[in-house]
Chain A
Amino acid sequence: MEWKLFANLAETAGRKDIALDLDDDATVEDALEALFERHPDLQAEVYENGELAEHIRLLVDGTDPFATADGYETRLDADAELALFPPVSGG
């Protein structure tokens, strides 16, 4: 599976695409933990009080697992594409 990071999150990680090799039964939480393990600075930007910050959007193959699946417990396909977005406001 692969993470795609946008805007300041990609800058913090120093890259936009991060491929992960996780077990078959990995969840969104596992993918987040693996991401933070590799890029510890991201955690402070993405998490607020131990949870995904309200303003950060996490998508699994284009859908929000917190709205449509099991949130952190959502199971991921081996080829899942995960995205982390902050809103941007420049105009």
Chain B
Amino acid sequence: MSLGLDQTQLDRYSRHIILDHVGPAGQAALLNSSVLVVGAGGLGSPIVQYLAAAGVGRLGIVDDDRVERSNLQRQVVHGESDIGRLKVESAAEFVAELNPDVTVETHDLRVAPDNAMELIDGYDVVVDATDNFRTRFLLNDACVLTETPLSHGAVYRFEGQVTTFEREEGSPCYRCLFPEAPPEGAVPDCATAGVLGVVPGLIGTIQATEVIKLLIEYGETLDGRLWNVDAAGMDVETVPLRRNPDCPVCGDDPAVTAIEDVKYADRCRAPSE
């Protein structure tokens, strides 16, 4: 049973192919799948690397930033010679060198209300590897509206949080956890708080693991669980996460039925009922 895998692919993916629960069928599923990674920074780097290595056939990468020297402490898909280049170009070049089976689609843009729906259309899974609340809420709302699975990861200093919103019946969404973003300045970002470079690596590799499990349809994802890790004390806390019936997006009587319903300003406030 080769499921259309050629000799080179049987060799490249041999450790998947001999692995129970992946096998030729799982590998073929990966090669036939598509994932949109939003953000090619600290979280996005390992996500892009592992999804490309795993042979995810179509990989969309979204980012409008250019590589800066201060990124290189954690954004391991980029190198010294990439400083000043578009992150999507640098990441695409890394993937091309790693795995010719992967078709990369680069999107040199910032996700916005007028492009979000079109951008995620046609992808099996979306990965939130962004660094700002505005994009996080926008991606969440677009994924709920299109019933697209979403992987969530975020980091803060030595800590990270990660979960998966499968969009199955009863799945929670990001707004069930946080109905809206904090006021600007209430929670410091990486630029002001700092981040241990390996922490987005920890969280990003878990996000990649979750995406692969969704694509091969094996295992239990973090749907309904928020996984928190503190790398300083090596403490892991798994907090159950339930759908909020009053959630403005995925609740029983949602106030948000289209992206246009939300003003994605700093607080990403959903309209009140």
Contacts and interface: CB of A to CB of B under 8 A. Distances in A.
Given A7-B156, A55-B183, A89 B136 contact: yes
Contacts of B130: 89, 91
Interface stretch (B84-92, B210-218, B232-240, B256-264): B232-240
A64 interface: yes
Nearest to B232: A16
Nearest to A91: B131
Interface in B153-181: 153-157, 159, 161, 177-181
Interface stretch (A18-26, A35-43, A80-88): A80-88
A90 B200 contact: yes
Given A91-B41, A91-B130, A91-B154, A57 B177 contact: yes
Contacts of B129: 91
B230 interface: yes
Nearest to B228: A6
Contacts of A7: 156-157, 159, 187
B182 A90 contact: no
Contacts, number: 99
Interface in A37-91: 45, 53-55, 57, 59, 61-64, 67-68, 83, 85-91
Contacts of A68: 242
B190 interface: yes
A63 B240 CA distance: 7
Q: What size tier do the contact residues of chain A reach?
A: 20 to 34
Interface residues of B, number: 45
Contact of A89 (B131, B180, B239, B242): B131
A86 B239 contact: no
Contacts of A63: 240, 242
A44 to B, nearest CB: 10
7 contacts: A8-B188, A55-B183, A59-B240, A89-B181, A90-B154, A91-B131, A91-B154
Interface of A: 4, 6-8, 16, 45, 53-55, 57, 59, 61-64, 67-68, 83, 85-91
Given A54-B179, A88-B155, 15 more contacts: A7-B156, A55-B181, A55-B182, A55-B186, A59-B240, A68-B242, A83-B237, A86-B182, A87-B177, A87-B182, A87-B187, A90-B155, A91-B44, A91-B132, A91-B153
